[in-house]
Structure 1
């Protein structure tokens, strides 16, 4: 049995969570997100903690309990840490380098592959094989 629904979500500084009916709104330094949650799941915000409760131990309620908590937690995490992906290039001769705002990959083609990065995306190359 999953116990995800019972875990408390700790709200970092600058993040607010509010509920109006079935709509949960998360406001943070990176923007605002809204999401509909199941009407049977009760959300309570106490200080900097968010808790979820379910009305019964029915199979459907257990599933909605954990899913609702996970969705709201992902919204909070997105506002504090943002989305990060760490990539590792594996292979002989595979390497990456950053030229200004361009990511240049040497991944086995006869020519280097160049990607222009958007303004809202940050790319870091830690060494030749870790992006």
Structure 2
């Protein structure tokens, strides 16, 4: 039994939720998102909560139950508050800057890397060594942050590269004489 799935999802103040068949839609101050729940999970809107239950007692239905509840909760949080991921850049000469809406990265390559964000994502550089990725869809925010980190991930010897804020890089010992 899913412990997460048993808890109904509260609809936050300022967010309107609608359930049409298997489609859950949320409208809030930040925008509108929807999630189509799998057919093996039943979704009901009751008063100010969304209840998620498995359609039958099969293993497949029970495995999708908790994930569906979490996805519904994520769209409610996204349209109300939004999501943000912060990245840090370490290394001599490594820096980031904004070029209109695009992000320009200098990461030790012979050329600058220009990253164009997808629709609904806002990039910001409060400092040359910090990048902030914000948006209402948790999955897209995480994907954009991962794509930026992928250009030059942190290496274990000096810790140079792009890493998530708060990420701990396990360092290795260098050569010995």
TM-score normalised to structure 1 length: 0.71
TM-score normalised to structure 2 length: 0.56
CA distance in 2, matches of 1:22, 1:103: 37
CA distance in 2, matches of 1:82, 1:28: 10
CA distance in 1, matches of 2:42, 2:116: 44
Structure 1 residue 116, shift from structure 2 partner: 5.9
Query: What are structure 2's unaligned runs of at least 5 residues?
Result: 132-177
Aligned length: 130
Match of 2:34 in 1: 33
Retained in 2: the 8 A contact 1:25–1:32? yes
Query: What are structure 1's unaligned runs of at least 5 residues?
Result: none
Provide the secondary structure at the position in 2 that maps to 1:89: strand
Asked whether 1:70 is paired with 2:70, we answer: yes
CA distance in 2, matches of 1:78, 1:92: 36
Match of 1:84 in 2: 84
CA distance in 2, matches of 1:13, 1:26: 12
Retained in 2: the 8 A contact 1:24–1:37? no
Provide the secondary structure at the position in 2 that maps to 1:85: strand
The structure with the largest strand share of the pair is 2
Structure 1 residue 127, shift from structure 2 partner: 2.1
